Amino acid sequence: MTDKEVNENGAGGASSSSEQPHLEVRGEEPEFDLHGPPGLPSDEEFEKRQLHWLNHVYQGDHVPQLTLRAILMGGILGALMSVSNLYTTLKVGWSFGVAITACVLSYVIWRTIRMVVPVLTPMSILENNCMQSAASAAGYSTGATIGTALGALLLITGQHMGWQVVLPWTLVSASLGVFLAVPMKRQMINRERLTFPSGVAAAETLKSLYGQSKEAISQAYSLVGALAFGAITGFLGKGEFAWQMAMKLKLPELITFDLKVAGVDVGKMPAFGFEPSALLVGAGMIVGMRVSLSMLLGACLLYLYFGPQMVNLGQIPEPSKLIKSWALWPGTALLVASGLTSFALQWKTIVKAFSSASMASKGGKEDPLARIEVPGHWLLWGIVPLAIMMVALQYLAFSISIPLGILSIVMSFFLALVACRATGETDITPIGPMGKITQLTYAILAPSNITTNLMAASVTANIASSSADLLTDLKSGYLLGANARKQFIAQFIGVFFGSLAIVPAWYLMVPTKEALEKFNPPAANMWRAVAEALVKGIDYLPETARIGLLVGATIGIVLSVLELYAPPKIKKFLPSSMGLGLSWVVPFANSLAFFVGALIAMIWTRVSKRTGNLYIIPVASGAVAGESLVCAIIAMITAAAALGGGH
């Protein structure tokens, strides 16, 4: 999400200088503006546009791109961000895009290194773009299954799957996403010019940095400063080292509120208070006031009315079980129904996705970009063995039959196709609906099998996430004149860095079911809830929770329809379905901190719109990345120490 709202003020074409050689970005004629509105051109117009891009924009043959230093920088940054995103997934149920953060950090780090070792040459804009692909694959594409489906499986069974399964599962599913995205690139990016807003923002950020824009440089250092602040806040909040406690370097993890409603001690409900967290406040600054205010509204309704009522009715065993025993169900129903409804209402996007795939498969005249694009035989060499490995893994590790395993791969291609187009048009990758569609399908084909339900859905979710991420990065490269083959290789290599980082981090951060439950992980809880409801039926839930399921689903459907069709005057007052649903599956402190962050951003923008537009997203992104990374490291150190002490 950090990649979606990047300020573009001061963005301009990069230029050559003594400090940054080989950085010229060739100009484009207006009639072939790469930022132009999406559309389906005639074959003749498309051919002209391709030749224009090759002659006036492409610079991948004479500017360094796929270099060892770019891959290492991207792989290392992406590995760190994968751990950071795992923590945010466990903490708030979201992962954040890493491309722009990685671009800025790479630029600042390399400049700092060159101050120490002046003989090193500057990293070119295309090297940084290649670095972005590796970092994004490592930091974002590898985590869609770890903290969600595998987390849900741990909550249900109480047992971890062995790393011998989790590592290849993560690596193969993410790699499949990389390969499956390639056939879509030429249709969605070259021909139709879909927007892919985060890809455009990353390209503009790099142009600004390499154009030596003062505002861009200030943004870069504000992100680094916020990252340090977030890291310090995370350490002071979560660290409990002996020397730290002796020096009283400790922030309270929660500032609690004492309150009784209808005779019920609300203070005993999950995290009823304010958590002084840079991560949560930063996340609120990023998602904005509508989502954050909806979260606070939903949290107040739950904690100040429905929660006490359910305790008094005996529907909840104790106040601390409010979310896990009751609120999780209405909240999940609202989120799932909203996601699936929004997905269904995008039927035009779905139709376009399949029609564009059909057009791309027909081929055409000889491609002038054949030596630049990824060749078809690469895809054959990649997709076939990876698909066989994925089916074998499903069968050997989870006893998913071979036909059902093959079906998951086939479904993944079609769902990834839709996810990529949705990302290209709206910048939103519908990972939740992708997984839920698979869960619904397998609830029919493999009833009463929770493991099959969860793990087949994790395949489609990870593949769709990885595919959309690759196309977003390829959009940046297309605007900058990069070589798509080299970018594809960087993305593929990045998957290995991310997998090798996130899998051990998962076991260190979450050594047991109890450790995972302490996070109260929203995403894992929702995946578990959907699987249990589909497999077990809803009769095992309390009666009021069943009513809540229906009410939550109805609200989700209604809000999704209104968000699309309501008049603008009404639409601006609608609560966010995501915010309302999430507020019932995360503790109160999360919702309150999100609101505080959104309020800070709103006041900042009101006081100074120019500086707010410039710095809010970089500052918020740095705070989220800094605290989540440090908290993840502390969690791993603490878990390792506990395991060591146990032996």
Q: How many Cβ atoms from other residues are within 10 Å of residue 428's Cβ?
A: 15
Phi-psi region of 154 (alpha: psi -120 to 50; beta: other; left: phi over 0): alpha
SS3 assignment, position 265? strand
Is residue 511 a contact partner of residue 149, using CB atoms and an 8 Å limit? no
Is residue 339 scored above 90 in pLDDT?
Answer: no
Is residue 512 a contact partner of residue 93, using CB atoms and an 8 Å limit? no
Strands 273-274 and 255-256: antiparallel
Which of the two residues, 598 and 366, has the higher pLDDT score? Answer: 598
In this prediction, residue 430 has a pLDDT band, given cuts at 50, 70 and 90, of: low
Give how far the C-alpha of residue 321 lies from the chain's centroid of Cα atoms, to the nearest Å: 29
- List, for residues 117-171, the tens digit of each pLDDT value: 999 999 999 999 999 999 988 987 777 678 888 999 999 999 998 999 999 999 9
**DSSP-assigned letter for residue 50:** H
The continuous run of DSSP H or E covering 273 comes out as strand 273-274
Phi-psi region of 252 (alpha: psi -120 to 50; beta: other; left: phi over 0): beta
SS3 assignment, position 440? helix
Go through the chain and tell me how many residues it has: 647
- List, for residues 610-623, the tens digit of each pLDDT value: 999 889 989 998 99
Residue with tokens 């484009």: 28
Task: State whether the Cα torsion 425-356-375-138 is positive or negative.
Answer: positive
Which of the two residues, 307 and 13, has the higher pLDDT score? Answer: 307
The pLDDT score that the predictor gives to residue 201 is 82
Is residue 519 scored above 70 in pLDDT?
Answer: yes
The pLDDT score that the predictor gives to residue 367 is 64
Is residue 22 scored above 70 in pLDDT?
Answer: no
- Read off the pTM: 0.81
Question: C-alpha angle with apex 632: 628 to 633, nearest 5 degrees?
Answer: 120
Percent of the chain at pLDDT > 90 equals 38
Q: Taking residues 79-97, what's their average pLDDT? A: 85
Q: How many Cβ atoms from other residues are within 10 Å of residue 602's Cβ?
A: 17
The continuous run of DSSP H or E covering 261 comes out as strand 260-261
Q: Taking residues 65-90, what's their average pLDDT? A: 93
Q: Which residue in 503, 506, 451 sits closest to 167, CA to CA?
A: 503
Dihedral in degrees, nearest 10, Cα atoms 24, 29, 34, 37: 160
The pLDDT score that the predictor gives to residue 37 is 59
544-560 b/e with 16+ CB inside 10 Å = b? bbbebbeebbebbbebb
- List, for residues 166-189, the tens digit of each pLDDT value: 999 999 999 998 888 887 887 788
CA distances from 8 to 197, 204, 213, 345, 604 (A): 11, 7, 11, 31, 18
Is residue 24 scored above 80 in pLDDT?
Answer: no
CA distances from 600 to 203, 294, 619 (A): 28, 16, 12
Alpha-carbon span 131 to 446, nearest angstrom: 42
Q: Which residues contact 577 (CB under 8 A, 6 or more apart)?
A: 294, 334, 335, 338, 555, 556, 559, 560, 563
Q: Which residue in 33, 38, 83, 169 sits closest to 466, CA to CA?
A: 169
Q: Taking residues 269-276, what's their average pLDDT? A: 92
The pLDDT score that the predictor gives to residue 8 is 30
Q: Taking residues 579-604, what's their average pLDDT? A: 92
SS3 assignment, position 256? strand
CA distances from 439 to 153, 394, 448 (A): 14, 15, 12
Q: Chain-wide mean pLDDT for the chain?
A: 83
The pLDDT score that the predictor gives to residue 23 is 33
Alpha-carbon span 637 to 633, nearest angstrom: 6
Q: Where are the alpha helices (DSSP H) in 448-542?
A: 450-480, 484-509, 513-519, 522-536
Q: State the amino acid at position 549 in one-letter form.
A: L
